[in-house]
């Protein structure tokens, strides 16, 4: 699809290529790594933007982001990390254009990262309900979920800020996500019953 990334034999693992790029800064190494997932990145961008030209622009912009971000972060598993980076990039672009991405409680149970959009438009009932559900979470879950989803901090950032182990942060976010989903489902059921 994108001809600027040349196909080369894929003998090295993602982790090896990440390490090589972090050590050398060699753009060819980063290009080989990115080429493996450029179709995935394009697909995610197309899903969010629903416009091929915008998705193609985003693919190029994400590659430019990788030039610095791959050096900056400890990346254990490149594919899911890139997937998250791609979605965050798309959401940020949509926010800049003041396009509100609606909140779907079903997405909260997946491993996908979804950052509900607050503040740029008047709050609707769903956003108020979500904020109410966040307030009901246990303190650790509430703090981790707030930092992760609303302030877009990484697991690693939250672990540093709280002096918690990375696994504990991940657990608080996963449990918080599950509790939010359950709370939102209860609220939706209550609203249906009131109609």
**101, 136, 171: which is the final residue of a domain?**
101
Residue 73 is encoded by which pair of tokens?
A: 């972060």
Provide mean pLDDT across the span 62-83: 92
**101, 132, 148: which is the final residue of a domain?**
101
Lowest mean pLDDT among 8-12, 74-78, 129-133, 141-145: 8-12
Number of residues assigned to the chain: 195
Is 71 in the same domain as 158?
A: no
For residue 109, being part of any structural domain is answered with no
Is 43 in the same domain as 133?
A: no
For residue 110, being part of any structural domain is answered with no
Of 190 and 8, which is predicted with more confidence?
Answer: 190
- pLDDT, residue 112, reads 40
Is residue 62 very low, low, confident or very high in pLDDT (cuts 50, 70, 90)? very high
User: Which residues, at least 6 apart from 26, have a Cβ–Cβ distance to it below 8 Å?
Assistant: 20
Residue 103 has pLDDT above 60, yes or no: no
- pLDDT, residue 195, reads 62
- pLDDT, residue 168, reads 85
Of 93 and 129, which is predicted with more confidence?
Answer: 93
- Note every long-range contact of 175-179, with CB atoms under 8 Å and residues 24 or more positions apart, other chains counting: 175/141, 176/137, 176/141, 176/142, 176/144, 176/145, 177/108, 177/109, 177/145, 178/108, 178/109, 179/133, 179/136, 179/137, 179/141
For residue 115, being part of any structural domain is answered with no
Provide mean pLDDT across the span 49-74: 91
pLDDT digits (tens, 9 = 90+) for 31-55: 999 999 999 999 999 998 888 888 9
- pLDDT, residue 15, reads 93
- pLDDT, residue 122, reads 37
- pLDDT, residue 186, reads 82
Is 28 in the same domain as 97?
A: yes
Is 20 in the same domain as 94?
A: yes
For residue 7, being part of any structural domain is answered with yes
Q: How many domains does the chain have?
A: 2
Alpha carbon distances (Å) from 55 to 58, 84, 102, 112? 5, 16, 20, 19
Residue 65 has pLDDT above 70, yes or no: yes
179: part of which helix (H) or strand (E)?
helix 166-194
Is 94 in the same domain as 131?
A: no
CATH number, domain of 8, equals 1.10.1740.10
Domain holding 64, by residue range, is 1-101
Of 129 and 95, which is predicted with more confidence?
Answer: 95
Of 151 and 134, which is predicted with more confidence?
Answer: 134
**86, 101, 116: which is the final residue of a domain?**
101
Is 151 in the same domain as 188?
A: yes
CATH number, domain of 144, equals 1.10.10.10
Is 34 in the same domain as 130?
A: no
């Amino acid at each position: 699809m994108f001809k600027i990334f040349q196909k080369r034999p894929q003998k090295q693992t993602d982790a090896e290529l990440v390490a090589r790029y972090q050590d050398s800064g060699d753009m060819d190494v980063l290009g080989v790594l990115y080429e493996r997932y450029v179709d995935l990145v394009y697909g995610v961008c197309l899903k969010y933007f629903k416009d091929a030209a915008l998705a193609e622009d985003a693919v190029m912009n994400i590659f430019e982001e990788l030039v610095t971000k791959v050096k900056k972060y400890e990346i254990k598993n490149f594919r899911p990390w890139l997937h998250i980076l791609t979605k965050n990039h798309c959401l940020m672009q949509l926010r800049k254009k003041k396009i509100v991405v609606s909140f779907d409680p079903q997405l909260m149970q997946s491993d996908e990262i979804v950052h509900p959009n607050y503040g740029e438009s008047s709050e609707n009932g769903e956003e108020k309900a979500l904020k109410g559900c966040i307030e009901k979470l246990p303190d650790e879950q509430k703090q981790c979920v707030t930092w992760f989803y609303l302030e877009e901090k990484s697991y690693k950032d939250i672990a540093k800020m709280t002096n918690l182990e990375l696994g504990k942060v991940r657990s608080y976010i996963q449990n918080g996500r599950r509790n939010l989903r359950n709370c939102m489902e209860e609220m939706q059921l209550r609203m249906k019953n009131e109609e």
